Amino acid sequence: MFALDFEESRLREPIFITDLSTGRVSSANRAACVLLGRESSDVIGKTTVELGLWQDEGQRNSFLSCLAIEGSVVRYPVRIVGAGGQPVEAFVAAEPCGDPEGARLITRLIREPYSDGESEGSSPSAAAGFLSRSATKFLVDDGSDFYQLVAQELRTLIPHSLVVVSSYDAAAARLSVMRYSAPDRESVRLSAALETLRKNDSVLVGDSTFASLLSGGLFEIPMTLVGSRTLGEPLTALLREFEVETVLLIGLAWHGTVYGAVTLLLRSPDQRPDRTVVEAFVRQASVALQRNERSRALRESLEEKETLLREIHHRVKNNLQIVASLLKLQGCSVSDPSSLTVLAEAADRVQSMALVHTMLYDNRNLSSVDGGDFLRALSIQIVRSGRFDASAVILEYDLASIRLDPDHAVPVGLIVTELVTNALKYGMRAGTRLRLAISFRGDGAVRELAVSDSGAALPADFDPRSTRTLGMQLVQSLVRQLRGTFSFSAGGETSFRVHFTV
């Protein structure tokens, strides 16, 4: 946090006090008015976007997002429209304050340059461009070589440095080198030492160092540690070979978790980077690393859940097939035709439910099945069950590729099982072929299922609501479960239709 004294700064730095929600200026010192080339009366009451402090509301909202995360902003690069329309590069330092009139924002403009070096972040606009480009790279990076990206980006900011990026093992309290980036003219000479460092070195992190890493601030490691066991022999050897005079360290840390660290090895104190830019970059990297870690953990969790769900479908399918097999085995010991039919129909119903879980298990989508594929496979399964003359049946389909979750697929499958079985059982006539048509269509959330056959006509007094056959009673019960409607028509062919909403 920083403290601003409006009176002491009245003649030095431009300062605005604005309403936090609207961005309207309630007070501005003389330096702010001079910078903008406006009178005080032309500044008060206007928004910071209207005054040219922000290019548009989008840029102001990005700044406010940063403010919400950090609590205060020490240096935020901007390009202001100054007096006479001339662009002015500066940094914004801001912190909110509460008063009886509501939440306000104290905004101070800092106009000194970042540094005198030739690094990419040597001016406010260059720093803003660097941070913007790196943020974009972090957004599109999938985490496959994240540490190398951090190392390379930081070395573009500090060209003459040697950048080493490490991961942190919380259980062992150790930093292990993951990637590095050396100056081009030094990369070949240092390659052996760097590879030895990457493969063999890790550093034990003490409590004070861990606290510094957790803070996310850039700090210096005393050179008196070089040659001691604290840094490890491979790193110590590299420091000597690269003739390092300054070692800076900063933690890849976010929201109380240390993910790793970045080490900057400098040959001269004059090569020191602007800590504000480095810390802003590493904060971006830490957020991206946290996102990648959470995405990885989420993927692993989803893969584990998919495996468990697939195993559940597999076991349910196996159990249902065992039940169907037991029913068929029981039928082998039954001589009464009517009892044999009852057992066979029960087995068909169980097989219908098993088919749903078979298709869910075999499908990449574990939450639903393709309704068209399911009904096609189900009807073929019934016709070829061995109880009917499959060669005397002509199957016709009008099936849309509509997804069905298990709650809908199971009752729909059982309905089709009953209607197809009834058509085969009662509609087939000697010397003729039975045309069996199955339709499944959708319009918005409404689904229409139809089973039609060209077999023997229904009795004139047929009423599905009063029939006592188990199959038709089961169909009507399943239609009620779907909260749908059931209808039939008889004439040239018999047709049953079910409408329901998903």
289-302 pLDDT per residue, tens:
888 778 778 888 88
Pair type for strands 403-404 and 434-443: unpaired
Backbone dihedral region of 71: left (phi > 0), alpha (psi from -120 to 50 degrees) or beta? left
Q: In whole angstroms, what is the distance from residue 381 CA to residue 417 CA?
A: 10
> Is residue 1 scored above 50 in pLDDT?
no
Report how far residue 470's alpha carbon sits from residue 380's, in angstroms, rounded to the nearest whole number. Answer: 22
Q: Which of 499, 416, 176, 491 is nearest to 165 (CA)?
A: 176
pLDDT at 225 (0 to 100): 59
Asked if pLDDT for residue 9 goes beyond 50, the answer is: no
Tokens of 93: 């330092």
- At 182 the pLDDT is 80
Q: Output the pLDDT for position 125.
A: 61
Report the alpha-carbon distance of residue 416 to residue 433 in Å, rounded: 20
pLDDT at 144: 60
Write down the residue that tokens 């769900």 correspond to: 309
pLDDT average, residue stretch 75-94: 76
Digit-coded pLDDT (tens) for 383-430: 888 778 888 899 999 999 999 988 899 999 899 988 998 888 887 777
Q: Is residue 90 scored above 80 in pLDDT?
A: no
C-alpha dihedral (70, 74, 75, 78), degrees to nearest 10: 80
Residue closest to 281 by CA, chosen among 312, 301, 252, 309 = 252
The pLDDT of residue 400 is: 93
Percent of residues, the chain, with pLDDT higher than 70: 85
pLDDT of 5 higher than 50? no
Task: Give the span between the Cα atoms of 489 and 113, in whole angstroms.
Answer: 86
Instruction: Look up residue 339 and give its two tokens.
Output: 């009892």
Per-residue model confidence as pLDDT tens digits over 18-59: 888 888 998 888 888 888 888 888 889 999 888 888 877 877
Asked if the model's pLDDT at residue 115 lies above 60, the reply is no
pLDDT tens profile 120-146:
555 566 666 777 777 777 776 655 688
Task: Quick: pLDDT tens for 429-486.
Answer: 777 888 999 999 998 899 999 999 887 777 777 777 777 777 788 888 999 999 999 9
Per-residue pLDDT at 207 exceeds 70: yes
Cross-strand bridge partners of residue 435 = 394
**DSSP classification of residue 457:** P
Residue 160 confidence (pLDDT): 78
pLDDT at 10 over 90: no
Average of per-residue pLDDT across 151-158: 84
* Distance in angstroms (rounded) separating the CA atoms of residues 482 and 477: 9
Mean pLDDT of the chain: 79
Q: What is the pLDDT of residues 299-339, one digit of tens each?
A: 888 878 878 888 887 888 788 888 888 888 888 887 888 88
| Of 228-237, 371-380, 382-391, 444-453, the least confident | 228-237
The pLDDT value given to residue 44? 92
Q: Distance (Å, rounded) from C-alpha 371 to C-alpha 405?
A: 9
- The burial of 49, by beta-carbon neighbours within 10 Å (0-12 exposed, 13-18 middle, 19 or more buried), is given as middle
Of the given ranges (32-36, 238-242, 275-279, 492-496), which has the lowest mean pLDDT? 238-242
- Is 123 within 8 Å of 114 (Cβ atoms)? yes
Sign of CA dihedral 217, 218, 221, 222: negative
> If pLDDT is split at 50, 70 and 90, which confidence band does 194 have?
confident
Q: What is the pLDDT of residue 6?
A: 40
Of the segments 1-5, 66-70, 224-228, which one has the largest average pLDDT value? 66-70
How many C-alpha atoms does 60 have within 13 Å on its Cβ side?
Answer: 21
What token pair was written down for 2?
A: 């920083």
Average confidence (pLDDT) over 94-116: 65
Domains and CATH numbers, the chain: 15-110 (3.30.450.20), 124-297 (3.30.450.40), 306-501 (3.30.565.10)
Place 2 in a pLDDT band, splitting at 50, 70 and 90.
very low
